[in-house]
Structure 1
Amino acid sequence: MTYDPTNIFAKILKGELPSHKVYEDDTALVMLDIFPQSKGHTLVIPKAASRNLLDADPMALSAVMPLVQRVAKALQTVTKADGIRLAQFNEAPAGQTVFHLHFHLIPAYEGTALGAHASGRADDAELAQLAKDLAAAL
């Protein structure tokens, strides 16, 4: 399988599609998932073009992982989550639906089951406020 530069995350990275951006630097874009599994579901999307972990440049991975950790800590502080799930999928049989490497940071709350991925679209006003709160925490 090869990387498709017209995938939705590539378009977001190029500014062709909107997102609820939390943070951006030379290595990655951090944004909220519009179809969250829980309140605060955040995506860290490396800017380096790769389909997933299997074809990613190891240097790109080493550059983005400290940001994944930083976002996880801020996310737990802002959402007051009891835990943070880190998920990353490689190819369709494993659950990957957007074929650009990305990391899911999903807040987990004691006694509350995670929702199904893409089961419902979040409210844009709530996402915008949460993006501001997370950006301030970073």
Structure 2
Amino acid sequence: MRDENCIFCKIASGEIPSTTLYEDGDFRVIFDLAPASPGHLLILPKEHFADLLELDEAVAAKLLPLSARVARAMKEALSCPGFHLVQNNGEAAGQTVRHFHMHIIPRYGKEELLLWKPGECTEEERAELCRRIGEKLQ
């Protein structure tokens, strides 16, 4: 299924041009127009899924092997010692386009990393969170 109002659906289908690295029947891998570092890529499913919670299991099963294949080629070609594999869900998490996509961001060892600040959580708090989430995990 495709969303006619979704810019990533239009890019994934080829309606809007992009610098495409790879394409198959399920995905298009493109260069990000506003890269976090040189070589920043996006993996776009050709089918529309708003986020991870809507992602089809068959498509999801193909995503990680493709991500690894692309990242391996990227590391070798760009001589980057590392990379981030990033996927945001919802506006609060930084998702700006409501079409599931995965970022592969090469890291050269000199730029600021995409990290979170470690916080604190007591054993009691973890137990309560575990109980609450576990009740929904059925």
Q: TM-score, normalised by structure 2?
A: 0.76
Q: Give the gaps of 5 or more residues in structure 1.
A: 116-138
Q: Is the 8 A contact 2:75 2:81 kept in 1?
A: yes
Q: Does 1:18 align with 2:8?
A: no
Contact 1:38 1:114 in 2 (8 A): no
Q: Is the 8 A contact 2:43 2:101 kept in 1?
A: yes
Structure 1, residues 32-57: CA drift from partner, whole Å, max 9, x if none? 00100001000111122200111111
Q: CA distance change for structure 1 residues 35 and 114 in 2, over 3 Å: closer, same or farther?
A: farther
Tell me the residue number matched to 2:63. Answer: 64
Structure ID, larger Rg = 2
Alpha-carbon separation, structure 2, partners of 1:5 and 1:21: 21
Asked if structure 1 preserves the Cα contact closer than 8 Å seen for 2:12 and 2:46, the reply is: yes
The one-character-per-residue Cα deviations of 1:86-108 (angstroms, maximum 9, x if unpaired) are: 00000111100011111000001
Which 10-residue stretch deviates more, 85-94 or 8-17? 8-17
> 1:65 offset after TM fit, Å?
1.8
Total equivalences in the alignment = 113
Q: For residue 119 of structure 2, what is the aligned residue in structure 1? A: none
* Structure 2 spans left out of the alignment, 5+ residues: 115-138
**Structure ranking higher on relative contact order (CA contacts 8 Å, 6+ apart):** 1
Stretches (4+) displaced over 4 A: none
CA shift digits 1:69-96 (9 cap, x unpaired):
1001011111111101000000111100
2:32 counterpart residue number:
33
TM-score of the aligned structures, taking structure 1 as reference length: 0.76
Q: Does 1:45 align with 2:44?
A: yes
